């Protein structure tokens, strides 16, 4: 009697497991843009130590090639800039510069993604050393 019940129990449990898995594989919600906010936060880190970098100078390179300083990162390595200001300047690139680090740049006008779709952009700067 036991040997004939075993295959039935296994079949029932397998069916329940498959049904449970099928309900968990339902399609997820469509991704929506992460931003409806008006400020872009730039976060700057050290590529070697993964610590955030305070005092990084952040500038925008405009359509005519001029550089406009946006500010410096705070003690948490963050600088907030209104998106409207970046649009008014016609920013093409965002430049990050700090002593003892290679400069970094983010391209605003990219065909790969919408720069303004997010509320924050993260970049890591690499240290340089004289050998």
Nearest to 115 by CA among 72, 54, 60: 60
User: Do residues 108 and 117 lie in contact, with contact meaning Cβ atoms separated by under 8 Å?
Assistant: no
* Domain annotation for the chain: domains and CATH numbers: 39-125 (2.60.40.1120)
Q: Specify whether the CB–CB gap between 70 and 59 falls below 8 A.
A: yes
The confidence score (pLDDT) of residue 114 equals 85
Q: What pLDDT, on a 0 to 100 scale, did the predictor assign at position 80?
A: 95
Whether the model pTM is above 0.75: no
pLDDT at 21: 46
Q: What digits encode the pLDDT tens for the residues 57-83? A: 999 999 999 999 999 999 999 999 999
Distance CA 28, CA 65 (A): 43
33: pLDDT strictly greater than 90:
no
Q: What are phi and psi of 28, to 5 degrees?
A: -80, 165
Pairing mode of beta strands 120-125, 39-46: parallel
Task: With cut-offs at 50, 70 and 90, classify the pLDDT of residue 117.
Answer: confident
Q: Tell me which H or E stretch contains 96.
A: strand 93-97
């Amino acid at each position: 009697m036991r040997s004939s019940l075993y295959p039935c129990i296994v079949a029932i449990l397998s069916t329940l497991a498959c049904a449970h898995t099928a309900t968990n594989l339902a399609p997820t919600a469509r991704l929506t843009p992460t931003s409806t906010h008006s400020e872009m936060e730039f976060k700057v880190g050290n590529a070697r130590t993964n610590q955030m970098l305070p005092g990084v100078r952040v500038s925008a390179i405009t359509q005519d090639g001029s550089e406009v300083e946006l500010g410096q990162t705070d003690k948490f390595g963050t600088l907030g800039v209104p998106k409207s200001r970046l649009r008014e300047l016609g920013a093409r690139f965002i430049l990050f510069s700090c002593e003892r680090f290679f400069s970094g740049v983010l391209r605003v006008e990219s065909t790969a993604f919408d720069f303004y779709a997010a509320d924050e952009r993260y970049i890591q700067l690499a240290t340089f050393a004289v050998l």
